């Protein structure tokens, strides 16, 4: 998978799908990017991919006119000499300058993929799954060593990269910027796709043309954020969901990030992703190293769906971990929208009992179970149960829930504190704050300084005291505000640039300790919905609450956007009450379920207050979902129609062996006398005959993908019902189940 020409120092990383090629430019000793894209046959040398033009430029060496780094496509570019674009790293030396000259020194190749200490990262289960190349660069002026790590997997169209800076000298180095990856692509014929949002409307897909100069998305909020997700894709203007070239970049990290494109005047596109350099710096004393998070780069020539499927498969099977990774996820009910803070044990048990009768498998007790937490002004930080609400404690409640045949889950928000708590009374210095200056609150709460090990330790012990002895199967880990006035009282003034990153390392550490002690607990990450729905979190929590917006129509956009990167097995999606609490919209129980099916599926409503008809519908929906959840959570997902482009949304999930599929089709508004419309499916086996429920059609895969399903508004006769499907009305939805499992039966239907 990794081939090296020892003479020309060319490196070719390839598998059946992708090739990634770079070399050492002998004159400058810089790594020069030659190619990243569709797999190409190996050659002894790819020297013909080197591009040089005689251009006006600053050159490194006197008398030489071809040593301008600006005109050599870089693997890990610097600033300060002859490249004037934004660099992948920056170091401030004691003298005050920022000039480095990292030169190629050596390389090594290892089987498999080493772990990144303290950081989430993709992994292998055995050494044959990947190979890792480490290229070692040394600074010509100091004892700084930089390792560039590249992993190529056997089965994914993916290159992962990360960078490690090590200071072997006596001078103290200040790292001001340390991208995880950077690549110079040879043209600029791209559009940029990214996920934009806000609280309750996360992951909206944006696509826009590249222009010369800089474009970036980023977070400086202390979390990956609702506003932008640590992901971007470079897409050919003609690329669609199923065709054309796409380069996807995703960062396995949960804190401040930046994803940046710079198109230079010669139309080279420099793409990079990593920790946001704004507000970041890291001191490296002698013998110390800094490891960047991992970046995942996907190449697809099968459009955005091809890119998404690569992310889905890698993240579902080789980023998510633990007992629950490959398990079908339990159908849950969460009491948040049912009761908010206003509940007692009796009410909770009533909900749980009703839910159990209808087939729910997990009850989740959300916010409000501890201390005197009756609204959002109080109690975060003191993790002891409120005995007026739960006279038998969490332990007692968890036992009763288990007696009903349900698993039990509990909500925590470990990173936060309210001022009315013992924790704050004893440790007012444990919050993130600048002494003597105002500390802003968010939702009345303050951020605990997770950059301090003693704070993380305290929270570990508090959580452990609740979990230990109770029957807890699931934890929802919430985080409801961003970090402001970022400052740690425990760090010296010249290390304040480290606070954000140290904070996230503290969060990862707490997760790791809890997982080590409780490997069977299913974690769901949450941050006021999707403010920290990122690959970093997936390493610890295989599920993420995608949004606080539970409206079925809004969820189409949110789940469609989330699916750009994240597998359905990670997308927390619930059915809630109507009128919807966020937007006031009325949608049918069917439509709400049909949207929530494409995720982990659950409920978030007062099931005791529902009509018999609704309860019967819920029972039916749960039965349906249980029958198909393996397909949903482990199949290949394709987006068919975008909610950002029209009145209809559609998607399909197809089993790996292509014997079955589930299609969701959704209409926002009914149209009088509408135009004809067909829904062409994707991902089926052209040769297979599928039975399409509920219409009882038998059709070949090629036919369903080319001719498509036919919709009609005015289906009346029985024969029409067999071939067409009704899309009449506002907020309507249809689910089609396709199976080719029993071929003889399918033939009869035909």
- The one catalytic residue among 548, 549, 551, 636: 548
Per this entry, what is the length of the chain?
A: 750
Phi and psi torsions of 710, nearest 5°: -105, 135
Tokens of 464: 């452990």
CB 527 to ligand DGJ: min, Å = 7
Q: State the Cα–Cα distance between residues 336 and 364, nearest whole angstrom.
A: 9
- Grouping H, G, I as helix, E, B as strand and the rest as coil, residue 105 is strand
CB 376 to ligand DGJ: min, Å = 6
- Contact stretch for ligand DGJ (CB under 6 A) within 6-14, 129-137, 417-425, 524-532: 524-532
CA distances in angstroms from 394 to 365, 378, 384, 475, listed in the order given = 10, 19, 9, 13
- Contact stretch for ligand DGJ (CB under 6 A) within 60-68, 80-88, 417-425, 525-533: 525-533
CB 365 to ligand DGJ: min, Å = 10
Find tokens 């009449």 and name the residue. 728
Q: State the Cα–Cα distance between residues 71 and 268, nearest whole angstrom.
A: 9
- Contact stretch for ligand DGJ (CB under 6 A) within 522-530, 625-633, 636-644, 670-678: 522-530
CB 299 to ligand DGJ: min, Å = 35
Would you call 478 a catalytic residue per the annotation?
yes
Phi and psi torsions of 115, nearest 5°: -75, 160
Q: State the Cα–Cα distance between residues 296 and 304, nearest whole angstrom.
A: 15
Name the β-bridge partners of 712.
Answer: 726
- Contact stretch for ligand DGJ (CB under 6 A) within 167-175, 398-406, 464-472, 523-531: 523-531
CA distances in angstroms from 746 to 319, 557, 742, 749, listed in the order given = 38, 35, 6, 5
Nearest in space to 369 (alpha carbons), one of 377, 379, 361, 357 = 379
Strand ranges (E), 220-326: 231-235, 246-252, 257-263, 269-275, 282-284, 289-291, 294-300
- Residue 5 or 377 with smaller CB distance to ligand DGJ: 377
- Residue 198 or 214 with smaller CB distance to ligand DGJ: 198
719, containing H or E segment:
helix 718-723
Give the DSSP letter of residue 42. Answer: -
Nearest in space to 394 (alpha carbons), one of 371, 359, 419, 369 = 369
- Residue 313 or 473 with smaller CB distance to ligand DGJ: 473
Which positions from 177 through 206 interact with ligand DGJ, judged by CB under 6 A?
A: none
- Residue 149 or 576 with smaller CB distance to ligand DGJ: 576
CB 442 to ligand DGJ: min, Å = 12
CB 144 to ligand DGJ: min, Å = 43
Among 412, 450, 545, 731, binds ligand DGJ (CB under 6 A): 545
- Contact stretch for ligand DGJ (CB under 6 A) within 171-179, 386-394, 526-534, 595-603: 526-534
- Residue 202 or 294 with smaller CB distance to ligand DGJ: 202
CB 565 to ligand DGJ: min, Å = 20
Contact 446, 418 (CB under 8 A): yes
CA-atom Rg of the chain in angstroms: 27
Among 274, 529, 567, 701, binds ligand DGJ (CB under 6 A): 529
- The one catalytic residue among 478, 549, 551, 636: 478
- Residue 88 or 541 with smaller CB distance to ligand DGJ: 541
Question: x/- string (CB under 6 A) for ligand DGJ, residues 366-405?
Answer: xx--------------------------------------
- Residue 254 or 269 with smaller CB distance to ligand DGJ: 254
Contact 727, 735 (CB under 8 A): no
- Residues that bind ligand DGJ (rule: CB under 6 A) add up to a total of 11
Give the DSSP letter of residue 20. Answer: E
Among 183, 417, 526, 746, binds ligand DGJ (CB under 6 A): 526
Binding of residue 524 to ligand DGJ (CB under 6 A):
no
CB 340 to ligand DGJ: min, Å = 8
CB 480 to ligand DGJ: min, Å = 5
Which positions from 462 through 481 interact with ligand DGJ, judged by CB under 6 A?
A: 478, 480
Q: Is 685 exposed, middle or buried (0-12, 13-18, 19+ CB in 10 A)?
A: middle
77, containing H or E segment:
none
- Residue 171 or 376 with smaller CB distance to ligand DGJ: 376
Nearest in space to 637 (alpha carbons), one of 664, 601, 667 = 664
CB 478 to ligand DGJ: min, Å = 5
Sign of the C-alpha dihedral, residues 396, 400, 406, 412?
A: negative
- Grouping H, G, I as helix, E, B as strand and the rest as coil, residue 426 is helix
Q: State the Cα–Cα distance between residues 129 and 127, nearest whole angstrom.
A: 5
First-to-last C-alpha distance (Å) of the chain? 47
Which residues, 6+ apart, have CB-to-CB distance to 694 below 8 Å?
736, 737
- Residue 313 or 366 with smaller CB distance to ligand DGJ: 366
Beta-sheet pairing, 602-604 with 332-334: parallel
537, containing H or E segment:
helix 535-538
For helices 612-634 and 589-596, the axis angle rounded to 10 degrees is 20
Instruction: Kindly report the number of other CB atoms within 10 A of residue 75's CB atom.
Output: 25
Residue nearest to ligand DGJ (CB): 367
- Residue 478 or 660 with smaller CB distance to ligand DGJ: 478
CB 476 to ligand DGJ: min, Å = 6
CB 411 to ligand DGJ: min, Å = 6
- Residue 91 or 410 with smaller CB distance to ligand DGJ: 410
Beta-sheet pairing, 522-525 with 543-545: parallel
Which positions from 478 through 517 interact with ligand DGJ, judged by CB under 6 A?
A: 478, 480
CB 481 to ligand DGJ: min, Å = 10
Among 36, 336, 540, 651, binds ligand DGJ (CB under 6 A): 336
Among 75, 415, 548, 551, binds ligand DGJ (CB under 6 A): 548
Among 303, 528, 602, 643, binds ligand DGJ (CB under 6 A): 528
- Residue 83 or 367 with smaller CB distance to ligand DGJ: 367
Give the DSSP letter of residue 117. Answer: T
Nearest in space to 102 (alpha carbons), one of 113, 115, 91 = 91
Strand ranges (E), 497-601: 522-525, 543-545, 571-572, 574-576
- Residue 199 or 249 with smaller CB distance to ligand DGJ: 199
Residues near ligand DGJ (CB under 6 A) are 336, 366-367, 411, 478, 480, 526, 528-529, 545, 548
Q: So which residues are the catalytic ones?
A: 478, 548
């Amino acid at each position: 998978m990794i081939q090296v020409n020892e003479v020309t120092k060319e490196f070719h990383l390839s598998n059946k799908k992708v090739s990634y090629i770079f070399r050492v430019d002998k004159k400058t000793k810089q790594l020069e990017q030659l190619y990243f894209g569709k797999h190409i046959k190996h050659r002894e040398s790819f020297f013909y991919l080197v591009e040089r033009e005689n251009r006006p430029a600053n050159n490194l060496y006197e008398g030489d006119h071809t040593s301008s780094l600006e005109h050599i496509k870089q693997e890990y570019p610097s600033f300060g000499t002859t490249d004037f674009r934004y660099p992948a790293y920056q170091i401030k030396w004691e003298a005050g300058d920022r000039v480095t000259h990292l030169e190629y020194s050596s390389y090594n190749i290892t089987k498999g993929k080493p772990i990144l200490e303290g950081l989430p990262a993709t992994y292998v289960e055995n050494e044959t799954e990947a190979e890792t190349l480490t290229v070692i660069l040394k600074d010509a002026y100091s004892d700084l060593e930089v390792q560039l790590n590249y992993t190529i997997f056997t089965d994914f169209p993916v290159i992962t990269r990360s960078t490690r800076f090590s200071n072997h000298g006596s001078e103290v180095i200040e790292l001001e910027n340390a991208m995880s990856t950077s690549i110079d692509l040879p043209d600029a014929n791209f559009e940029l796709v990214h996920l934009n949002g806000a609280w309750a409307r996360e992951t909206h897909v944006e696509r826009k043309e590249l222009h010369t100069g800089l474009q970036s998305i980023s977070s400086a909020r202390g979390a990956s954020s609702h506003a932008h997700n640590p992901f971007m894709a470079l897409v050919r203007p003609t690329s669609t969901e199923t065709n054309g070239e796409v380069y996807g970049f995703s960062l396995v990290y949960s804190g401040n990030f930046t994803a940046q494109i710079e198109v230079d005047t010669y139309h080279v596109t420099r793409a990079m992703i990593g920790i946001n350099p704004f507000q970041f710096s890291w001191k490296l004393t002698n013998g110390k190293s800094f490891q960047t998070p991992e970046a995942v780069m996907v190449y697809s020539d099968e459009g955005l769906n091809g890119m998404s499927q690569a992310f889905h498969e890698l993240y579902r099977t080789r980023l998510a971990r633990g007992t629950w990774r490959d398990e079908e996820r339990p159908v849950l009910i969460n009491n948040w929208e049912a009761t908010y803070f206003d509940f007692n044990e009796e009410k909770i048990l009533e909900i749980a009992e009703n839910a159990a009768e209808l087939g729910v498998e997990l009850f989740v007790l959300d916010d409000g179970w501890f201390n005197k937490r009756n609204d959002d002004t109080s109690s975060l930080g003191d993790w002891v149960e409120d005995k007026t609400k739960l006279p038998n404690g969490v332990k007692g409640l968890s036992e009763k829930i288990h007696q009903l045949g349900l698993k039990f889950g509990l909500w925590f928000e470990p990173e936060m504190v309210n001022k009315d708590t013992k924790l704050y009374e004893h440790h007012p210095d444990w919050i993130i704050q600048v002494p003597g200056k105002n500390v802003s609150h968010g939702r009345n709460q303050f951020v605990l300084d997770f950059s301090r090990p003693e704070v993380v330790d305290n929270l570990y012990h508090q959580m452990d005291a609740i979990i230990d002895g109770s029957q807890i199967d699931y934890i929802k880990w919430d985080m409801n505000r961003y970090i402001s006035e970022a400052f740690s009282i425990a760090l010296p003034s010249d290390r304040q640039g480290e606070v954000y990153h140290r904070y996230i390392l503290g969060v990862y550490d707490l997760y790791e300790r809890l997982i080590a002690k409780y490997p069977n607990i299913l974690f769901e990450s949450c941050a006021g919905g999707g403010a920290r729905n990122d690959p970093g979190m997936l390493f610890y929590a295989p599920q993420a609450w995608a949004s606080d917006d539970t409206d079925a129509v809004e969820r189409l956009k949110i789940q469609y956007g989330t699916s750009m990167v994240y597998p359905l097995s990670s997308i927390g999606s619930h059915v809630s009450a109507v009128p919807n609490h966020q937007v006031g919209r009325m949608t049918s129980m069917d439509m709400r379920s049909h949207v929530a099916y494409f995720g982990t599926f659950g409920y978030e409503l007062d099931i005791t207050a529902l009509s018999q008809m609704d309860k019967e519908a819920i029972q039916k929906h749960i039965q349906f979902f249980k029958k198909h959840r393996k397909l949903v959570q482990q199949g290949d997902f394709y987006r068919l129609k975008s909610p950002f482009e029209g009145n209809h949304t559609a998607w399909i999930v197809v089993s790996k062996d292509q014997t079955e599929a589930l299609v969701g089709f959704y209409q926002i508004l009914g149209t009088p006398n509408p135009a004809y419309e067909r829904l062409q499916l994707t991902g089926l086996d052209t040769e297979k005959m599928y039975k399409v429920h509920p219409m009882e059609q038998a059709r070949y895969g090629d036919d369903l993908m080319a001719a498509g399903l036919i919709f009609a508004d005015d289906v009346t006769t029985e024969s029409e019902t067999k071939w067409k499907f009704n899309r009449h009305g506002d907020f309507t939805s249809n689910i089609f189940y396709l199976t080719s499992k029993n071929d003889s039966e399918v033939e009869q239907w035909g």
